[in-house]
Structure formats: structure tokens, C-alpha cells
Amino acid sequence: MLEAIRDGFATLPRALKRAAFMAFDAVALLGVLWVSFVLRLGSFSPTPPHIVLIALAPVIAIPIFVRLGLYRAVIRYLPDRAVFTMVQAMAIATLAWVAALFLAEATRLAVFPRTVPFFYFFFGTIVIVGSRFAAKAMLWLPERQQGAAAGVVIYGAGAAGTQLAEALLGQNRFYVAAFVDEDRRLWGRDVAGIRVFPPSELGDLVRNRGVGEVILSLPNADTTRRAEIVAEAGKLGVKLRALPPIADLVSGKYLVNQLREIDIDDLLGRDAVPPDPALFTAMLGGKSVLVTGAGGSIGSELCRLIVNWQPTRLILLEANEFALYEITRKLRALSELPVLPVLGSVTDGPLVRRTLQRLPADVIFHAAAHKHVPLLEENAFEAVRNNVFGTHTLLSAAAAAEVPQVVLISTDKAVRPSSVMGATKRWAELIMRHHALNTGNGPRRYCAVRFGNVLGSNGSVVPLFREQIAAGGPVTLTDERMTRYFMSIHEAAELIVAAGALTTGGDIFLLEMGEQIAIRALAANMIRLAGLTVRDQQNPRGDIEIIATGARPGEKLTEELFFDPARAERTTQKRILRAFMPPADGADFTAALTQLGAALEAEDDAALRRVLFSLAQG
């Protein structure tokens, strides 16, 4: 019986629920007054004026309760602090009723015992507060047993938000507490039976209505505004999710009730630059494409992009067996394009030459490299063997096989490098220049693309922070002053392909990365996106602490993209710049490469580092 009543009440429209509470409060306050008179007088036989004044009590109280929001509260998620609002409402209602009593006595209509208003306030407060929390206990019990989610606020009361609200209300696990929208015309109005509030009240909604999740319904918002909203909402300690972009909804890729998690990418505030079809078709269409390091984060994203532009085949060169298996399996599920896996390293000269003879390539994307800065500081020989001589081996084989185009994936750490990793990538750039320009038949279309950190890539801080947050913290960073450039992995892959199509030979392209982001701010945002709070001096009771462990060998506080920013040239493509490169001396470079090889062969660490950094600084 109780379950039937509970389920029936829970399924009522909100308007009927409010009406039911108003009717209950009116009857309850009348009953409270009757009890108050009986307690004071022992028995009570009201006169007509008494009856009018008693009936006046709920008439006065209900509008006050409405004004103070007692009927807007979501009973199921009623916070404990709502007690103070109810006490305040009852106190104001009592004082207003007492004013009516004084007026009645002054006009000699009726006389009331002075203690009745005190009984009225005391018992009325108990009934009003008790009824709400009793209803909350009854309605919330099944949800607590089933582990249901808390209430949600939908940010955006447009057509998509309205459809989302209707979809969520059809699922018993969700309760839409409110809409938030930036359109002033909607503030205070009801959309689909749900009140719309201004963004400035989002914090109050979260604190007062048991809201555990904010859903962004902004399919048409630009990424800058979306990033601002995510940053603000992330400070409230609630879970954030979002509707997919409108293009994905229209195409049927997602349904309106299929939500995605807010990712750290959403905080970058960068609008995507649509790929130029002419450039991508010229670069990839009808071509045989080879990707080295195809199982890595950048390499695999490049592969997923390449298969969409109709190459004749895609050759995957990867040293990690499992990574090669995984990317091959996923690409074959995506496309019927011939995907040919080759297991091996770019340092294996015979393998590379044999691969290019057996499977001629028109374009090579060279993403294979060791990238972890602290590890490479301790393993300089392997860093040089793979990043420097692996690149030299690949480009030598590509030149011998007359591969028309090679794109080297570089890094901002190659600019005035302080680490072994950065120095080896600078050498890789110089090797690319050497093979591109030192030919008697004009420059080969070989180039390098230099950019900063990619969110979520292997070895980046983002997966580490996610792991630490999932474990309950602390989140560790090396220095609170450290800043880095960041971009999404998909954007990086698209710009790499576009840059490769622009080269005339020997170019080093730079991807515009926007402003550098403080690593501590990144960590704090990731904690907030997980629905948690940062524990610090301002919030000692927060969930997760951020700890600085000290800079590691080879790390810089900030990174650079340019040796000479003033001489960087803009290209025809947005966010792609061309670095100024002084003329290269092929003889000097060949001699330095020979010295580096001798130091590697002799396993002379001091000589290796001396030669490595001597050429990498310019």
C-alpha cells in the first residue's frame, strides 16, 4: 500500500505535487490552530469571528511559503539547510497573522489568548518541517536502495535541452531540478514544466536542491564559451556531462539522451579548424601511406584520420606487438582499406629498406620516437639510437626508395633543449633538413611539424592525473609554476596532415598552441571535472590534494615553439606557421652525426651528451 502511494505521488506532474503540498499545509495549519486553542483553553467553541481569523492563517501563510520557495524545493533532494528557510517562512507567517489578530482586537471583533500564536508557530514549524522530511524519506528510500543519481540541472533551455529533459524524466533515476539559460527572456518562466534560472544562480541551485550533476545542452555554443561554462560549473563539485555537438545529433551519431562526459579538452576553449578537403585529398587521396609508431597516441590518431581520405593502402610500422595488433584491428573495423601491419623498429635498417621495397610508399608520417623526458635522461644511449639514428635510417631508406614526401613529428622541446629527449628531436629535425636539401635534384618534400603537448597522449600528465584522482589522490606535479602548451590529439593530427601538404622541402612547421596552461590549473580542473574538490589552505576539507614533488632532470618550467618568434611566417592555413631556418651546412652536419655515432658506439656518455647538445642549440 505504501509503495503504491509513494509511486503514485512520485509520478504526479510537478504542478499537482505543489497543489497537494499547498492543500496539506492549509489543512495542517488549521489543525495546528485548533490544537493551540484546545491546549490553551481546555475546550474551544469558536465564534464566527474566531472562525474567520483561524481560516485567515493559511490564507496568509501560503503566499509567504510560495514567495520563500517552499513549493519550488525538490522534496526528494531536500537539503538539511532548508530547515532554516521553513522556520523563517513560518515565523513571517505567524507575525503576519498576529498583525491580523491585533487588528481584530483593536476593532473589538474578537479576543485571542496571547499564547496561541506561540503554540501556532511552534507546532506549525514542526508540522511543516516534519512533513517535508517525512515525504523526503518516503520518496528517496527506493532511490537510495537502487543507487540512483541525484538531481540534475540542464544548462540550456533550448529545443535540445527540452528534449533532453523529457528523455531524462522518462527514466526514474533522474530528476530535472531546473534549467539554467543565458536568455533573460526565459528567466523565471517554466519550460516543459521546469523553472528557468539565470547562470548566476547555478551555485545556489546546486547547494539547495540536491543537485549532483550539471548537463550542458549547448550544441551550438562556440568552444570558448563552452570552456568558460565548464570552468565555472567545475568549481561547484558536481559531475559535468554534455550533449554531443549538433552535427552529431543531426547525423544520427548520437541521440538526444546520449550524453558524453566532459573532457579536459573542453577546457582548452579552441574552436576546431575544419580540414581543407583540397589539401587532404592532395596529401592522402589515392596514395600509399606509411605511418611509423602507428600504435602510439599520435600515430594511431593519424591512422584513424588517414583512412577517411581514400588512400590506396595504409602501412603500419610499430615496434610494440600489442599496440600494432590493437590499431590494426580497430582500423580494419573502421574501413575496408588495405591495412598492412609491419612489426619492427625504425632502427632496423634492413627491415625499413625491405618494407619500402616490398610496399612502396608515397607519403611517410614519422611518429615513432621515445618521448618520456625523465626516462630518456637516464637512457641517453637508447634515446639517441631510436630518435636520432632511427630517423636517419628511415629517411635514408626513404630517399633511396624515392619516397616523394615525409612528415616528421617533432616537439616544442626541440627548441633550445634542456633534456636528452628534446635534443634528440632537434637532431631529428636537422636530419630531415639534411635529407630534404642535400640532393642534386632539388629539395625533397620532407618537413617537420613541431607542437606542444597533446592531451591524453601516452606519457602525458593527463592519464597520470586521471589515475591519481581515481585512486583518491594526491595529484603530483613537479613544480607549481610549470606551464605547457596543450592541444587535442585530433586537432594535432589534422594540422600535421595539412602542414605536410604545404611543404616545398626542408620546412619546419609550427602549430599555434594558444596560451600556455599552468599544470596546477590543469590538475585542479581535472579534479573538479571528476565532481571532487581540491584540498588546499582555502579548502582544508577538500577531496584531493595537489602536491609539488620538485622538477626532474631535463624539465623546463616553460616551453617554446620558436627559436626566433619574430621571423616565423604565416602560411595559408590557420594555426600553421613556418619557422625561419638558416642555411644548413651539410658537411658540418655529417661530421657531427659521425661524432655522435662514434660516441654511441663507444658508449661514451659524456661525449654523447656533449655532441648531442652542441648541435641542438641552434
Statement: residue 327 has pLDDT above 60: yes
Angle among Cα 571, 577, 582 to the nearest 5 degrees reads 105
Region 209-226 average pLDDT: 75
pLDDT confidence of residue 564: 65
Lowest mean pLDDT among 312-321, 393-402, 500-509: 500-509
Statement: residue 365 has pLDDT above 90: yes
SS3 state at 177: strand
Residue 474: asked if its preceding bond is cis (omega within 30°), the reply is yes
CA dist list (Å): 470 to 235, 239, 242, 293, 526: 18, 14, 21, 29, 11
Least Cα distance to 233 among 248, 218, 219 occurs for 218
SS3 state at 191: strand
pLDDT confidence of residue 401: 93
Q: 277-616, what's its fold?
A: Rossmann fold (3.40.50)
Region 417-429 average pLDDT: 92
**Angle formed by the axes of helices 14-41 and 48-67, to 10°?**
140
Which residues lie below 8 Å from residue 592, measured CB to CB, with a gap of 6+? Answer: 611, 614, 615
Statement: residue 116 has pLDDT above 90: no
pLDDT tens for each residue of 55-81: 888 888 888 888 887 776 666 656 666
- DSSP-assigned letter for residue 217: -
Region 455-461 average pLDDT: 65
Which has more pLDDT, 155 or 388?
388
SS3 state at 211: strand
φ and ψ at 409, to 5 degrees?
Answer: -90, 115
Residue ranges covered by each domain of the chain = 2-146, 151-262, 277-616
**Do the domains 151-262 and 277-616 sit in the same CATH topology, yes or no?**
yes
- Of the chain, the percentage scoring pLDDT greater than 90 comes to 25
Region 274-288 average pLDDT: 87
Statement: residue 226 has pLDDT above 50: yes
Which has more pLDDT, 618 or 389?
389
Q: Order across the sheet with 576-578: list the strands.
A: 339-343, 313-318, 288-292, 363-366, 405-409, 445-450, 507-511, 576-578, 569-570
pLDDT tens for each residue of 517-556: 778 877 887 777 776 778 888 778 777 888 888 777 766 6
pLDDT band at 324 (very low <50, low <70, confident <90, very high): very high
In angstroms, rounded to a whole number, what is the distance separating the alpha carbons of residues 263 and 261?
Answer: 6
Sign of CA dihedral 7, 11, 12, 15: positive
pLDDT confidence of residue 78: 64
* Average pLDDT value over all residues in the chain: 80
Lowest mean pLDDT among 128-142, 259-273, 340-354: 259-273
pLDDT confidence of residue 269: 53
pLDDT tens for each residue of 117-157: 888 888 888 888 888 777 776 665 444 443 444 678 888 88
Which has more pLDDT, 239 or 326?
326
pLDDT confidence of residue 260: 54
User: 151-262 domain in CATH 3.40.50.720?
Assistant: yes
- 35, with CB counted inside 10 A (0-12, 13-18, 19+), is middle
pTM exceeding 0.85: no
pLDDT confidence of residue 208: 72
pLDDT band at 287 (very low <50, low <70, confident <90, very high): very high
